[in-house]
Amino acid sequence: MRTAAHRARALILAAVVPLAASALAEEGAPAPRKADMSVREITSALFKAKPASPVDLSKHNLADLDLSGLNFKGAKLANSDLYGVDFTGANLRGTDLTHTRLDRAVLIRADLSGANLSGATIRRPTIYSDLSKNPADAPRFSGANLTGTHVMANLSGADFHGADLTDADFSPLDGRPGQGTITALAANVLKGCDFAQAILRGTDFEGAQLTFSRFSGANLDGANLLGVKGLDKVKGLGTALNLHTAIH
């Protein structure tokens, strides 16, 4: 016969398990399945790739693989699951990363210049090699397409020079219908980032920290700057385009 203590424990488990599952879903954790390609297969394909014929890795599950230091030679990675992938020092210049999931990916010194990250998610990636938050570790997104990208990260020191961040979301709110709650990350930290000449049309920076970031010649048409911290110390804000149309 079940005791009162057993019944109480059963009730607690019944309440906790759904909450844990919900937390994992919000975190964006990958399904419990292995990557469908090995590091060796990817490395071999990239080694053989020619400039006119980039490797097509689209729609693959590459979660948690160690792909650090690889030259992707403009590979196609669209719609791939890149959760937790280690891209430390990787050359991702000009790669197609549209609608990929880069949540929890390691982007230390990764070069994503000119890459297409339209519609991608970059939630809580690892950016620095230690707790000192060395800006030299920050990834590069210069000239990249980040339209509609959702970012929740400390990307201080990152290079967004000339990037297209139209409608990119740097707010800490859970945007799912009916949610509107604060996520585990209280704010995006973008101190000392270079947004010079970037297109920030409709970009949502609500609550972000932008101290000492550079906005020279950036297009702020319709950008959301509500609750931004350090805006008074932003460099080149006076030369930004369409600042008068931004939401303050």
Q: In the chain, where are the structural domains located?
A: 1-30
Residue 133's pLDDT is: 82
Residue 214's pLDDT is: 97
- Share in percent of the chain as helix, strand, coil (round to 5): 20, 15, 65
Average pLDDT over residues 120-145: 93
Average pLDDT over residues 91-111: 97
pLDDT at position 206 over 50: yes
**What distances in angstroms separate CA 192 from CA 33, 119, 165, 205, 227, one per listed residue?**
38, 24, 17, 15, 18
- Residue predicted with more confidence, 63 or 248: 63
pLDDT at position 1 over 80: no
Across all residues in the chain, what is the average pLDDT? 86
Q: Which residue has the tokens 């090699």?
A: 129
Closest CA to 248 of 228, 232, 219: 228
> Which of the four pLDDT bands, split at 50, 70 and 90, describes residue 173?
low
> Which of the four pLDDT bands, split at 50, 70 and 90, describes residue 131?
confident
pTM summary value: 0.83
List CB contacts of 24: < 8 A, sequence separation 6 or more. Answer: none
